[in-house]
A and B are shown apart, each in its own frame.
Chain A
């Protein structure tokens, strides 16, 4: 297949869904475009920040019995994400100091030479609603769905070492605590990974954009009216 496998229409919709009037009589009754076309989640945009946490595939399957394959994909996606997100240590002993003995594994170092050590994935986290979808579209969903878009499965870590601030908590790869490990739900705070933005006193504005003004004032035929909606791309 040479086309995009899945598009979340809810994320691109700017107004409430329109009814489709094009279905000829005698076929299936008209369905909302969002459900019919792309197996979109029909959530009208995921406004809830609630997340579900599973420590293994079985927990996930138990709670979502008809979504066994999705659970496996989500688990695998989190394992892959961990390679990018987990904190890295040059020595196994340093990693185990923070996360506990036997709680670390080796991965290839970023520069491709030698190994780094990262904590094992303790759980994976998904937004509530990640499993709600309609599969009548015939488009295939696979592991990329859980690597991708807004439903990316997030690896969580925890520490067996009492001295660590991560002891007894779920933490993300950047060290943000999500909640206590006896909990299987969490509220993922918006912007939890963002560093504080820097402000600088602004001395002036408007130093870009003058070329457009100059070219807009060129006359030209009535057909190609410059400015007023036309693109400055190519």
Chain B
């Protein structure tokens, strides 16, 4: 696995403008970074990332199966009791899923280690599925990369195929798929627009509605701004937020199918890491993980303390020899913490590298690489492209 410096395309910003990629620079700092790219061999991709991604996903589904029928575990996972039955039913029906992203610590040799599963609201889908694909096509076109160079990224193709399949099984294309995110985020708005663009390519009828604009319709249903019942909703908004908000009961009463489905709430929760270690101890792709109050923590020299619910690296603390050394600020932590053995992210050059590995339904679909100056990957990390060669 190599990090190779590269020439930026002279007009990539104009291209970003053309394609509505607005969040390539955030708060004045670069997010999309094509001054370098990563290079993997096919063997590294297939053996060390693709296969473990598929396997870990199946392991996660086993965790869901255990948790949904166990009240003690549901409590440990800090899932509010009113939602338990709905989540169990969602799982029993095997409500279909669109996508998820596993984050790995990987440096080109040795097994990739799972850091977490973003199973409900994974971000960076646009950069991964489309933008880095376009980068490769451009580079190949001008001869800066050989035409036989590849990329582990069939994400857009799989997303479209999945939307088509979902359209068939959800009223045979007769239902409107609503896309939703909060008003406050340009990044989320862009991501959701991209997913809508993908869905519309299958002939699905799609609409957009902001999360805050969703209404409570007569009979306990969710409605859009024109009072149409929302029968099918993709939300880039976390389940654990919705569970504690005023309309939570409507999640159970409304005749609405959700992407991601309710049962994903079990996976988008760092308690998952504890359960994985419990069910599959010593698995090569897992790191030891325990709940905050577990005495076995004493056996860990270096560990990371993470809130059960947190995003973008917030409120994460790194401990070396049981002493805190790095602390990321943030507003999370009230539901409790887990502790995971510390595996330092590899450094290629001056930044730490994280591999995000995507699945569409249960199929590995590609990777996206992020770098951060800090050991804790946060929202202002950079996204870099990659290739497969050799």
Contact = CB atoms under 8 A, between A and B. Distances in A.
Interface of A: 1-9, 11-18, 20-24, 27, 33, 36-38, 84-85, 137-138, 148-150, 152, 174, 191, 193-195, 197-212, 214-216, 218, 220-221, 223-234
B375 to A, nearest CB: 16
B157 interface: yes
B153 A206 contact: no
A149 to B, nearest CB: 5
Interface stretch (B80-88, B179-187, B275-283): B179-187
Contacts of B141: 36-37
B26 interface: yes
B284 interface: no
B197 A12 contact: yes
Contact of B10 (A21, A220, A223): A21
A21 B174 CA distance: 44
A143 to B, nearest CB: 13
Given A200-B217, A231-B187, A233-B123, A2 B152 contact: yes
B27 A202 contact: no
Interface string B124-165: 000001100110111001110001001111111100110010
Nearest to B235: A208
Nearest to A209: B212
B312 interface: yes
Contacts of A209: 182-183, 210-212, 237, 245
A2 B45 contact: yes
A8 B129 CA distance: 13
B329 A4 contact: no
Given A204-B216, A232-B121, 16 more contacts: A2-B45, A11-B200, A150-B201, A150-B202, A193-B173, A193-B203, A198-B228, A198-B229, A199-B229, A205-B216, A209-B210, A224-B330, A225-B27, A229-B186, A231-B188, A231-B312
A3 B157 CA distance: 8
A180 B244 CA distance: 56
Contact of A230 (B122, B156, B185, B229): B185
A197 B172 contact: no
A115 B142 CA distance: 54
B388 interface: yes
A148 to B, nearest CB: 6
A13 B212 contact: no
Interface stretch (B13-21, B56-64, B289-297, B318-326): B13-21
Contacts of A36: 141
A84 B167 CA distance: 11
B250 interface: yes
Given A2-B150, A148-B160, A233 B142 contact: no
9 tightest CB-CB pairs across the interface, nearest first?
A: A207-B247, A14-B20, A200-B217, A233-B123, A202-B215, A209-B212, A233-B121, A207-B246, A211-B241
22 contacts: A7-B134, A17-B18, A18-B14, A27-B143, A148-B160, A150-B201, A193-B174, A194-B176, A198-B229, A200-B229, A201-B227, A202-B217, A203-B215, A205-B212, A208-B214, A212-B182, A226-B331, A229-B185, A229-B187, A232-B188, A233-B238, A234-B311
Contact of A8 (B15, B201, B215, B216): B201
B129 A4 contact: yes
B11 A3 contact: no
Interface string B90-133: 00000000000000000000000000001011110000011001
A27 B223 CA distance: 55
A148 B161 contact: yes
B257 interface: no
B138 A37 contact: yes
A130 to B, nearest CB: 13
Contact of B185 (A14, A22, A38, A232): A232
Given A15-B17, A211-B241, A148 B164 contact: yes
A6 B153 CA distance: 12
A176 B165 CA distance: 21
Contacts of A14: 18-20
B208 to A, nearest CB: 14
Contacts of A197: 176, 228-229
A210 B20 CA distance: 28
Contact of B247 (A5, A18, A208, A230): A208
Given A148-B164, A152-B203, A205-B215, A233 B129 contact: no
Contacts of B26: 229-230
